[in-house]
Amino acid sequence: MSNIVCFGEVLWDVFPSHKKIGGAPLNVAIRLQSLDNKVSIISSVGVDEKGDEIINFVKKNNINVDDLQVSKDLKTGKVKVMLNDKGSASYNIMFPRAWDNIQLTENAKKITASADAFVFGSLVARDETSRNTLYELLKIAKYKIFDVNLREPYYTTEVLNHLMQEADFIKFNDDEIFEISKTLNSKKHSLEHNIKFIAKLTNTKSICVTKGRHGAILYYNDIFYYNSGYQIEVKDTVGAGDSFLASLINKLLKDIEPQKAIDFACAVGAIVAGSEGANPEIKKEDIDKFIAS
């Protein structure tokens, strides 16, 4: 069992016909906990009914909420989600919201320093308060996992570069790594070359790039590992990448062979994409059966 802290946005994903609790760090936390890890979330909600519902939901999922803060000044996070005919999502992210105001507390520092891994994204760095808190926690975290999540207009090259320099492990999707590499003057065209480019530039030993239905590439200890994806009828892609990341780092932190780790992670991501919402319940035997089939 690994002790893992997830930092960043908690919110409501509002679809045309329904709404679900989400936010990438929370989605990662829920999947990690379901895989028998000890998980804490550092974030903030508003003094409102939606915030109370998130707190109760997180508690119900057995995630430590001791630093799930409550902001008196800002509302609970909300994102309007639009799905195209293939189930791919686009987002309208409300700003500012409570998770833009995550404070640096003594408890946040304590649980971060004692954790085996610290998971964070780029979206939470869109506003100064949460960004400064993140920067301080990165100074004391043991193993830092950066989930790149580019949402215009909420990122800058300067901030992304700082977060990559801090990270021990970086996860991109293919569009994100090509965009960032180009901004950093890469002349390379293949995924493998750009992964090595980022690894060298940021001194990051481990990088993973997801490719949607075409699977993922993992660069780990100077070796590439591949999974070409699993066939699934997509319902919506919300949270699929988050469950992928949680499943991957769960295996790697437990010293599972990297090829088995990426195969497992791609299977979980595909199952989530074939389900409604970001956090469907998935049993281990269902994952094993899916991989075998």
CA 165 to chain centre: 18
CB atoms within 10 A of CB 54: 27
How confident is the model at residue 81, as a pLDDT? 85
How confident is the model at residue 17, as a pLDDT? 84
Question: What number is the average pLDDT over the span 191-217?
Answer: 96
Most confident of the following: 10-19, 169-178, 269-278: 169-178
> What whole-number percentage of the chain has pLDDT above 70?
99
Q: For residue range 4-14, list pLDDT tens digits in order.
A: 999 999 999 99
Mean pLDDT value across the chain:
94
For residues 157 and 233, the model is more confident at 157
Question: What number is the average pLDDT over the span 209-218?
Answer: 95
For residue 87, name the pLDDT band (cuts at 50, 70, 90): low
> What whole-number percentage of the chain has pLDDT above 90?
82
Q: For residue range 105-149, list pLDDT tens digits in order.
A: 999 999 999 999 999 999 999 999 999 999 999 999 999 999 999
- 133: helix, coil or strand? helix
Q: Which helix or strand (DSSP H or E) is residue 91 part of?
A: strand 89-93
Query: In the chain, what are the domains?
Result: 3-292 (3.40.1190.20)
Q: For residue range 142-179, list pLDDT tens digits in order.
A: 999 999 999 999 999 999 999 999 999 999 999 999 99
Question: What number is the average pLDDT over the span 212-238?
Answer: 92
How far is the C-alpha of 289 from the C-alpha of 112, rounded, in Å? 36
CA distances from 228 to 115, 174, 217, 262 (A): 32, 14, 9, 10
Residue 277 has pLDDT above 80, yes or no: no
Residue 258 has pLDDT above 80, yes or no: yes
Q: What is the pTM of this model?
A: 0.95
How far is the C-alpha of 241 from the C-alpha of 266, rounded, in Å? 9
Closest by alpha carbon to 122, among 135, 104, 136? 135
Question: What number is the average pLDDT over the span 39-43?
Answer: 98
For residue 244, name the pLDDT band (cuts at 50, 70, 90): very high
How confident is the model at residue 83, as a pLDDT? 78
At position 77, the amino acid (one-letter code) is G
